[in-house]
A and B are shown apart, each in its own frame.
Chain A
Amino acid sequence: MAQPAQNTAPNDAIVQVPPSEHGGGFPPFESHTFLAQLIWLALAFGLLYYLMDKVALPRIQGILNDRANRLSKDLDEAHRMKAEAEAAGAAYEKSLNDAQGKARAIAQETRNSLSQETDAKRKALEGELNARIADSEATIRSRSAEAMGNVRGIASETAAAIVERLTGQTPDQASLDRALDKAATAH
């Protein structure tokens, strides 16, 4: 471990090693410094241990405990608030459903009453229309019967005129009627 004597080389200007007082020994193994180092170490480490044990560590532990308590309290609070919010949400949902149900019922009722009304109106209208149709049919029937009656008159007049032109004499009404009846039955 012994170091050679220092500052002996002539060109020693590069790394300046100041004259050393350790006289070539290896400082960590120089036992004459041990007692002093131990004393200062004991004082310094004793002071450090005292400060850590009595002041620093209890304080840091306290801070950490406070924070943990605070956090768990805040978490509980948050859980409570979440539950409240969920309950409020459920109530809102329920009232929304109720309102929707009610609205649906009102709509259904309105629809029913409206359709009843329109049904009644339609029936009334249909009755009126049917009555009118029957009326019209009766008129048509009477008109056509009347028309058919007129046909016989026209036919007998036409027949009399034809016979008069062909024979030069006017046929009597009785034989005309007979001939018309015969023609009518032949049909």
Chain B
Amino acid sequence: MAVKMDPIHQFELKPLVSFGHIGGQEIAFTQSALYMFAAVGIIALLTIVATANRSVVPGRMQSVAEMFYEFIGSTLRQSAGHGSERFMPLIFSLFMFVLVLNMLGMVPYAFAVTSHIIVTFALALLVITTVIVYGFMAHGTGFLKVFVPSGVPGWLMPMIVAIEIVSFISRPISLAVRLFANVLAGHIALKIFAGFVPALLAAGAWGVISPLPLALSVAVTALEFLVAGLQAYVFATLASIYLSDALHPGH
């Protein structure tokens, strides 16, 4: 029974408009770019259009926008301490961008932008670059204290510093891979479980057990919605924790 299912096909980029080539790379406006701008549009609709009235007693959409604002604000404050307000636009944008892209990816037939590691890696790199640039700008070489934990005996220091440097370098990688892998694996699993349903139906008597993968794919869909929200939150929280290093290097 060779039913072919291609769970990878959904991640393919489809160029909509091509703008020629740069160094052998085609610069095309793909559906991925369309989803990115759609996400920006949705976020702007929620946070700008819905708050246009500036009502003291908020409407439904305005209170959703306020809820997100206060949620991200408190997450950032708890993770990065005082002085972290300056990073609110960055963390808020990151959280909303990842959340809306993840959620858009859950729409049937839609494309999950965050399933491409280059996108998540670029976002992670943006966070780490911000940490490094702001850290050196605010503290000069004092920022290097982030690799030298206080209260460590001298003979242990070389090892600890080496570990700290490795952990610092692995941060953008883990940040990027966590989001990318969660979205990618979830969509693949969903596609495979859903694909079992028509495969079993086509296999004669085996069709009897086809409700099983159907129920499973419903459950996995619910789980993927959870993962979509949770990963956006994890990304924002970890970014806040890394930014707290830039704010308070001597931890």
Listed in ascending order, the chain A residues whose CB lies under 8 Å from chain B are 3, 6-12, 14-15, 17-18, 20-22, 26-30, 32-42, 44-45, 47-49, 51-53, 55-57, 59-64, 66-67, 70
Contacts and interface: CB of A to CB of B under 8 A. Distances in A.
Given A37-B116, A52-B47, A53-B89, A27 B123 contact: no
A3 B12 CA distance: 13
A32 B180 contact: no
A60 B69 contact: yes
Contact of B54 (A10, A33, A62): A62
Given A27-B13, A64-B70, A41 B122 contact: yes
Interface residues of B, number: 62
Interface stretch (B21-29, B163-171, B212-220): B21-29
Nearest to B52: A59
A-B pairs with lowest CB-CB distance, top 7: A40-B33, A56-B47, A44-B36, A9-B2, A53-B89, A27-B11, A35-B25
Contacts of B56: 63, 66-67, 70
A40 B36 contact: yes
B69 to A, nearest CB: 5
B178 to A, nearest CB: 14
7 contacts: A9-B2, A11-B3, A12-B3, A36-B27, A45-B97, A56-B43, A63-B66
Given A27-B11, A36-B26, A40-B36, A49 B93 contact: yes
B6 A14 contact: no
B40 A3 contact: no
B22 A49 contact: no
Contacts of A3: 6, 8
Contact of B118 (A9, A38, A51, A56): A38
B126 to A, nearest CB: 8
B237 interface: no
Interface of B: 1-6, 8-9, 11-13, 22-30, 32-33, 36-37, 39-40, 43-44, 47-48, 51, 54-56, 58, 62, 65-66, 69-70, 88-90, 92-93, 96-97, 115-119, 122-123, 126, 180, 184, 195, 198-199, 201-202
A58 to B, nearest CB: 9
A17 B123 CA distance: 32
B115 A28 contact: yes
Contacts of A20: 6, 9, 12
A45 B88 CA distance: 15
B90 A49 contact: yes
B4 A51 contact: no
B40 to A, nearest CB: 5
A44 B33 contact: yes
A28 B3 contact: no
A53 B9 CA distance: 37
Given A15-B199, A56-B51, A48 B5 contact: no
B39 A35 contact: no
Contacts of A35: 22-23, 25, 27
Contacts of B36: 40-41, 44-45
B2 A40 contact: no
Contacts of A41: 36, 119, 122-123
Contacts of A70: 56
A9, A11, A52 interface centre (most CB from chain B within 10 Å): A52
